[in-house]
Structure 1
Amino acid sequence: MTEIGIEYQTVLGLPPVDFVHLAADLGCHHISMKVAGGGGPYNPYGHPAYSMLDDVALRRRFIAAMQDRDVSISLGEGFVVQPFHDLRDEDANLDVMAELGVTRVNAVTMDPDLPRSFDQLATFVEMAAGRGMTTTMEFAKSLTVPDLPTALQAVGHVGRPDFSLLVDTMHSSRSGHGAEDLIMLDHEYVGYIQLSDNTLAQRNPVYRDDSIDRCVPGQGELPVVEIVAALPPVPVIGVEAPMRSLAVAGTSAQECARLAVIGARKVLHAADEIRRVRALGCHT
């Protein structure tokens, strides 16, 4: 049975220990996490920046909170291929992820040099594997890997069973891939799913400004139920629903996350019903 996790972006910079308690209070046992975060322009609550690489005490409190509340990290995030950044320099951050119990990390690329991006991803997958982690890669129209065909090229280039795709329902839709495309994917190509809803068309000139203000799953314009039903079942679907407008208007991170989780549960229930009907049709 697929469980619902809460992605780091959803809580818009909430400190790590507080994030653990929020997830547990909402009945979610999984979160995604970055080694360092908070602060920055996409933090409407004004939370301070943190670094679990530099702050060993915070790291220990975070681990203790996860153990106490039965919460684990379903996805380690924050690894980005960039033109002047070699992912081999991420050793220390991967070590922190391993200490936090992470078994899957995700990478994206913003390096316009596609062959270099693919080589960097292959290097990163090997580094993660050395720590007992599998790796996914996310594609989006705002990234160097903008669509599913290019993402599958990356999978072919890396050529390892511990490297697969992260499919975000918003990014996939905006890249032009609907349920009819995703249902054709071999199951081993999909390692993780992020449930996101929004308008189909980008509203703001800067993609990041647009994607940080999403909808409660099931209340946007995207066919999220059909997409989830088309994708293979995975152990955890992470709800990525940062709702900046609600946050700026005074809605707490806890309430935004609660709304997102309620919406996600409805989406997953509806997707399960589609799968059930499809399975019945196959046996008649």
Structure 2
Amino acid sequence: MPHPLGIELLTVLGMGPVDHVALAADLGCTAVSMGLTQLPFNPHGYPSWSLRDDAGLRRELKAALRDRNVAISIGEGLGVSSEIDASERAADMDIFADLGALRINSVDMGMERERALDQLARLAEMANEREMEFTVEFCPAFTIGSLGEALDAVRHIGEDKAAVLIDSMHFFRSGGTVREIAELDPALIGHVQLCDAPRKGKGDYLQEAMKGRTIPGEGELPLREFVDALPRGKTLGLEVPLMSQSESGRPAAEYVAEIVIKTRELLA
């Protein structure tokens, strides 16, 4: 398969970072997305953790990444909002850089467009100063809601300083087509997140993005064609938070393995 797989933060639902890396490696995946603190979604009841506050945990994580040959594909949790200025993210950026993160990903949280663009540009500058790439993620529920709007943001920032993150659910739900991916400059695709979903949504979009995603091949999105249109070798981060299965007590290693196996079957 020409695309290596990664395990995204939302897929493991609160698991500690060292265990997250170990699980990804055990399943033959080469990347993880990583936040600095535990998600509020923790149905398995994992012990709380914070990479901000625990220097020992940071050392353990760096060793695990090195020893298991896994990369942090994106540093998450640095969205822009009206409550915090981008300049206040410097310490978090330093932690991600020290951990060897390849890039920082950011989303707007529905704030006013001009301020969102300026804040994203500042975050991109800070990431680039630390030799990390920067991606802008779009979501139909946010100010930057489509691939076209994300590309406008990248042009505002500078195409040499930023790229887009394409989440398959957000992409197709915002009206995207496989042809758009095939015609897009490969250099503008910084990271890809893969899941399946119904083609049309019902109710609250953000709730569905947490609870309505399905394993690739089990929904209605044209994922095989989507992946075939991507640049060869692009890592696919599996973002499939199977809330119902995790809440039922099914071990994370079991349901994440199912996601990986079925994705490989779809793309074989």
TM-score by length of 2: 0.94
Quote the offset at 1:156 in angstroms.
1.3
1:272 maps to what in 2?
Answer: none
1:32 maps to what in 2?
Answer: 33
For the residues of structure 2 that align with 1:51 and 1:188, how far apart are their CA atoms? 33
Letter in 2 for 1:35: L
Letter in 2 for 1:21: A
Q: Is the 8 A contact 1:83 1:111 kept in 2?
A: no
Letter in 2 for 1:196: C
For the residues of structure 2 that align with 1:85 and 1:24, how far apart are their CA atoms? 35
2:16 maps to what in 1?
Answer: 15
Quote the offset at 1:258 in angstroms.
0.5
Q: Is the 8 A contact 1:191 1:234 kept in 2?
A: no
Letter in 1 for 2:3: T
For the residues of structure 1 that align with 2:161 and 2:48, how far apart are their CA atoms? 32
Letter in 1 for 2:86: L
For the residues of structure 2 that align with 1:51 and 1:184, how far apart are their CA atoms? 41
1:254-269 map, 5 Å: 254-269=253-268
For the residues of structure 1 that align with 2:79 and 2:176, how far apart are their CA atoms? 23
- Structure 1 unaligned blocks of 5 or more: 270-284
Specify the SS of the correspondent of 2:46: coil
Q: Is the 8 A contact 2:71 2:102 kept in 1?
A: no
For the residues of structure 1 that align with 2:261 and 2:74, how far apart are their CA atoms? 21
Specify the structure having the higher radius of gyration (Cα): 1
1:209 maps to what in 2?
Answer: 207
For the residues of structure 2 that align with 1:153 and 1:211, how far apart are their CA atoms? 24
Quote the offset at 1:198 in angstroms.
1.3
Specify the SS of the correspondent of 1:84: coil
For the residues of structure 2 that align with 1:267 and 1:162, how far apart are their CA atoms? 34
Judged with a 3 Å threshold, the aligned counterparts in structure 2 of structure 1 residues 262 and 190 are, in CA distance, closer, same or farther, namely same
Quote the offset at 1:234 in angstroms.
4.2
Deviations 1:79-117 (A, max 9, x none): 111012111111111111011111211110014210111
2:155 maps to what in 1?
Answer: 156
Quote the offset at 1:206 in angstroms.
2.9
Deviations 1:121-174 (A, max 9, x none): 111111000100010111110111011221111011111313000111111011
Quote the offset at 1:66 in angstroms.
1.8
TM-score by length of 1: 0.89
% identical equivalent positions:
41
1:87-236 map, 5 Å: 87-203=86-202, 205-213=203-211, 214-236=213-235
For the residues of structure 2 that align with 1:4 and 1:48, how far apart are their CA atoms? 26
For the residues of structure 2 that align with 1:267 and 1:120, how far apart are their CA atoms? 38
The alignment covers a number of residue pairs equal to 266
Q: Is the 8 A contact 1:136 1:166 kept in 2?
A: yes
Q: Is the 8 A contact 2:159 2:188 kept in 1?
A: no
1:72 maps to what in 2?
Answer: 71
Quote the offset at 1:53 in angstroms.
1.1
Judged with a 3 Å threshold, the aligned counterparts in structure 2 of structure 1 residues 88 and 31 are, in CA distance, closer, same or farther, namely same
Quote the offset at 1:268 in angstroms.
3.0
- Structure 2 unaligned blocks of 5 or more: none
1:54 maps to what in 2?
Answer: 53
For the residues of structure 1 that align with 2:265 and 2:38, how far apart are their CA atoms? 30
Q: Is the 8 A contact 1:80 1:107 kept in 2?
A: yes
1:273 maps to what in 2?
Answer: none
Letter in 1 for 2:195: S
Letter in 2 for 1:7: E
Structure 1 residues 234-243 or 112-121, which shifts more? 234-243
More strand by percentage: 1
Q: Is the 8 A contact 2:110 2:141 kept in 1?
A: no
Letter in 2 for 1:26: L
